[in-house]
């Protein structure tokens, strides 16, 4: 008995499936990925259980800006990804004084924060830090609940996963982020 050959429909389905899987892999590994927000460190911007999309292209060009929200590998344990806001770029001097954040000697007006900013182990109140080349100083918006650069230091460019560009859950907070 002669073995049956797969029908054209089956072959076409398998080809389309392979193309779809390849496209998904390209998008997920090179262009964008979903991320779940865990914890309250970015409140009020994000809450636990919110979902966002981070784009990965700008990280290849080290194209970072003050105030951007990024996803990065936690410097203390790289198996975890954190979401924080960029406060200072290479060459910037960041300092904390009486609950306020200063960038290059000027107080930052931050309408997105929750509470005053206290010092940490890496950068305490009344101290300054000059950000080195290839590094970013990041903080959570909920300064009283955030473990960030004040405690464990800067984030290397190579640890950045991407920039958060879109929030898609909950639907009531569906929005693009700048």
Catalytic residues: 41, 84
- Joined tokens for residue 110: 């931050």
- 3 state DSSP class of 59: helix
> Taking a C-beta distance cutoff of 8 angstroms, is the pair 143, 31 a contact?
no
Residue 16 DSSP code: H
Of 45, 64, 32, the residue nearest 156 (C-alpha): 64
Which of 22, 86, 31, 68 has its CA nearest to residue 53?
A: 31
Closest CA to 87 of 143, 159, 33: 143
Q: 43-52 burial, b if ≥16 CB within 10 A, otherwise e?
A: bebbeeebeb
CA gap 59, 157 in Å, rounded: 8
């Amino acid at each position: 008995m002669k073995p049956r050959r797969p029908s054209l429909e089956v072959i076409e389905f398998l080809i389309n499936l392979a193309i779809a899987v390849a496209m998904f892999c390209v998008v997920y590994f090179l262009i964008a990925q979903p991320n779940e927000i865990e914890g309250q460190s970015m409140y009020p911007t994000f809450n636990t259980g919110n979902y966002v999309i981070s784009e990965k292209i700008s990280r290849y060009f080290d194209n970072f800006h003050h105030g951007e929200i990024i996803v990065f590998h936690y410097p203390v344990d790289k198996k975890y990804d954190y979401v924080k806001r960029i406060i200072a770029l290479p060459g910037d001097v960041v300092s904390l004084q009486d609950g306020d954040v200063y960038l290059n000697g000027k107080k930052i007006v931050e309408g997105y924060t929750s509470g005053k900013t206290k010092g940490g182990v890496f950068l305490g109140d009344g101290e300054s830090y000059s950000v080195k080349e290839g590094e970013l100083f990041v903080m959570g918006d909920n300064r009283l609940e955030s473990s960030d650069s004040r405690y464990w230091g800067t984030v290397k460019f190579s640890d950045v996963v991407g920039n958060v560009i879109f929030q898609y859950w909950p639907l009531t907070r569906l929005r693009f982020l700048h």
